[in-house]
Structure 1
């Protein structure tokens, strides 16, 4: 019997983002505090665009699958709204960069770097393939992000002197994103039935690619160079 979940998760090896130069540099404290804030502004830009994608996927899911809609709604409420689980992801990132010195006026004028623009475009394309593609692409990324996030939290608080309040997004997205990943994989069979295996597989692959491009974009903002990582581990 084919283990579709494992086949999807193995696509991470194309761009294993725990080894991305951005996060390696941050964990080694090779970037300055202000470079980190510049990188996180790109995180804020990408997160802002993701809210629209999640809302769109939710609207589509409501029309085609009660199960996917139910699972996606839970994740949407936790990620994109200020509910019982706390502030939205966007609010947490905005708090991080504002406490780091980014003003509202600066954020309003901030533009996506080339890598981040490419990432946002690819995320949009994945969502256009279907609600199940959106949810599984995001869920596969969240599976691994839940493992990376605590390491970034430690680097930001211990290495860069951020407070728990400033770095909170990286503290809570460890356990939260693992839950989101399990929720996404709970609809795997239905997503394959709706969209087909090849479409689901390519969507998860592209989600890993898009995430690597997003981190490229964050690093580009930090160092001022159009750097793109090829997935090779040093």
Structure 2
């Protein structure tokens, strides 16, 4: 798997959300995508998955331009957006079976994934009855159900309690052994626990792209490094 982003620019009216972004991402990496609110992280992720139209530049995934191979690209990308859109009136198993049907997957895959993300005890409940932690797990389950080569997660542990955070991190770590994960987060402990590389976006520009230790550099913590680079 490879993802090449070349001269990617995205504007909303007069505001430039992404300014001439260039990136190369290889397989089996867990990458921390960092940046202050409004930096362009979500815009970049939505551009990669094809949810936003590209104004300028090119995104090549698996050797193909995503704007010309939309369906094929989406088959190999899993996406968990920050707002985690789910059908609250559907039962967990019903919803995941519906997603599996779209991807033409066997029912056995639904059982496998519910076990992996730890929602087997909740599979007979309506999604609307679940806690936020379990809803996040359902969102993660739909994102990995079709075994994508690239998994993009926007704030996957947002609003979870400490135990839930650890459980979700363990699932992401397991997935990252075989797949490439781009993880957007504000939690620096998450970056240290999971990521080998950090990409820092600020005001639509990439201002750092380096291994975690190199990003931390002379600073006492990732928080200090983040603050210094973005100020």
User: TM-score normalized by structure 1?
Assistant: 0.28
Q: Which has the higher contact order (CA 8 A, sep 6+)?
A: 1
Indicate the structure with greater helix content.
1
User: TM-score normalized by structure 2?
Assistant: 0.29
Indicate the structure with greater strand content.
2
